Amino acid sequence: MADSSSKRGKKFQGPKGTRDFYPREMARRRYIEQAWRNVAIRHGFDEIEGPTFESSDLYAVKSGEGILGELFQAFSGKSPEDVEQVMKTGRAPYALRPEFTPTLARMFADKAASMPRPTKWFAIPIHYRAERPQRGRLREFLQWNADVIGDESPRADAEVIAVAVDMFSELGLSSKQLTVRLSNRDLVSEMLAGIGVAADDISRALMLLDRRDRLPAGEFDKGCAEINLDPVAFIAGLDAVQKSMNDALAAMENGKPRPEIESDSPAIANLIGLLEALAAHGILKWCEFDFSIVRGLAYYTGTVFEITAGSERAIAGGGRYDKLIEMFGGPPTPAVGFGMGDVVLSLVLEEHGLMPDDAGLAQSLNQRPDAFVFAAGGPECDAALVPLVAEMRRAGLHARRSYKSTNKIDKLLKDAAASFARCAIIIDEGFSKGTVATKDLDDGTQHIIKRSDLLAWVRERRGVSKE
């Protein structure tokens, strides 16, 4: 398949880590996108979009350093300067966007003076990462982003979590299948500082914590030793706070008053605020505190969270990035948001049998034909097919037709059923006398109606279609 040249020309296959969306796959993609879009809009988010490639510097500025190696780079071959730069430095002036947050921050920073606070934006951009594909991870994928900008309170954190949770409900997933794991980088930083870790070593300690479960035995302790951190005390302290927070969460979930938590830590106060905001949204049962969640991105501040399902890769992740807009030349502006990819979400939906079949997708996407027309008579019926279909389409109806050469009713009805049309319109002998036969493909009822009444009849069907 690599090179079957000769008589029929070279065959190509899509690049590694990309997908071809044939009609069925496209319908599934639209199904997910529709849920994302509908839920975001009803939660008061406005849709935005940005360019699919940005200046490389936009990503260099904010993300971690290691990220740069996973970018697909881009440049114009028409510019000798660019070509030379790429040859010399290996760095192109542009990069295909690997995430959306920098674009969003840039867009907000550009118009910050005129933007309302809070601003709530969502986007469904396509992203590119030059990673090796594996389960739940491709090189080209969609990611739903929802962000609340300009509200520093944990109420905003809860809002973005709530929109994600509501979307899961929309698709049939429950808190039994998913968990929102909450953490706060400031809390962990406070604790680290409290037990004597130097300010310069804190980000390194966070990285260690992030990888604790994945590191080989002993490596975590070794890393801690290098920054003068007592691993046992560190983890014990973290676990103690985590437990008291989760106890509080459990109590509130059961309708009991929140237990007092004695602390003068701003981060704890913030987490308690988050807890109360999540309770107000009625989504505590989806949540738990897990202070081992750190997130890899350098720009996160304060609240961070991941949403996980079983053993799959995290289905969504996000957090606060209170300094990013400022870094892009805007006014100091707090912001919080998350990204959710379509790849892992699709896997989770499939696992739980929650992806509708073709008929369900057609229904859900509002793509069912209003009518499926075929001719089952002589040549005069065949000749009437195209004009009739054309008339229906001009009238705004979704009309499909059979392309089969047969005039057997059973085959044509099968053809009609395969289109998931609401009804079949049969052009038969009656056509010469001004009538057509109709058949409701959902309940099987049939009528002979006047050709002149057809458009109205089909229109009415569309209105009364059953769910």
Least distance from C-beta 424 to RNA, angstroms? 7
Candidates 410, 433, 463, 466: give the one binding RNA (CB under 7 A).
410
Nearest Cα neighbor of 156 from 45, 248, 234 is 45
118: preceding bond cis by omega (within 30 degrees) = yes
Q: Is residue 384 involved in binding RNA (CB under 7 A)?
A: no
Distance CA 434, CA 449 (A): 9
Q: Does 213 bind RNA (CB under 7 A)?
A: no
Residue 363 CB, nearest distance to RNA (Å)? 11
Sign of the torsion formed by the C-alpha atoms of 327, 329, 330 and 331: positive
Under rule CB under 7 A, which residues in 147-206 are in contact with RNA?
none
Query: Residue 12 and residue 88: Cα distance in Å, rounded?
Result: 31
Half-sphere exposure of 285 (CA within 13 A, CB side): 9
Instruction: Kindly provide the residue ranges of all beta strands, DSSP E only, lying in 133-206, ordered along the sequence.
Output: 140-149, 179-184
Verify binding: residue 314, RNA, rule CB under 7 A.
yes
How many chain residues touch RNA (CB under 7 A)?
61
Q: What residues numbered 416-455 form the site for RNA, per CB under 7 A?
A: 416-418, 426, 428-429, 437, 439-444, 446
Least Å distance, CB 35 to RNA, is 20
Q: How far is the CB of 354 from RNA (least distance, A)?
A: 19
The one among 28, 120, 129, 398 contacting RNA by CB under 7 A: 129
List binders of RNA among 23-62 (CB under 7 A): 59
User: With binding defined as CB under 7 A, does residue 366 bind RNA?
Assistant: no
Q: How many CB atoms lie within 10 A of CB 112?
A: 20
Residue in 198, 269, 359, 383 binding RNA, rule: CB under 7 A:
359
Q: Which is closer to RNA, CB of 134 or CB of 254?
A: 134
Q: Which of 61, 67, 272, 449 binds RNA (CB under 7 A)?
A: 67
Choose among 382, 378, 376: nearest CA to 414. Answer: 376
Question: Under a CB-based contact definition with an 8 Å cutoff, are residues 41 and 85 in contact?
Answer: no
323 binds RNA (CB under 7 A): no
Within 10 Å of residue 381's Cβ, how many Cβ atoms?
Answer: 21
Residues interacting with RNA, by CB under 7 A? 1-4, 13, 16-17, 59, 63-64, 66-67, 70-71, 98-99, 101, 129, 131-137, 210-211, 214, 295-297, 313-314, 317, 339, 359, 376-377, 404-406, 408-411, 413-414, 416-418, 426, 428-429, 437, 439-444, 446
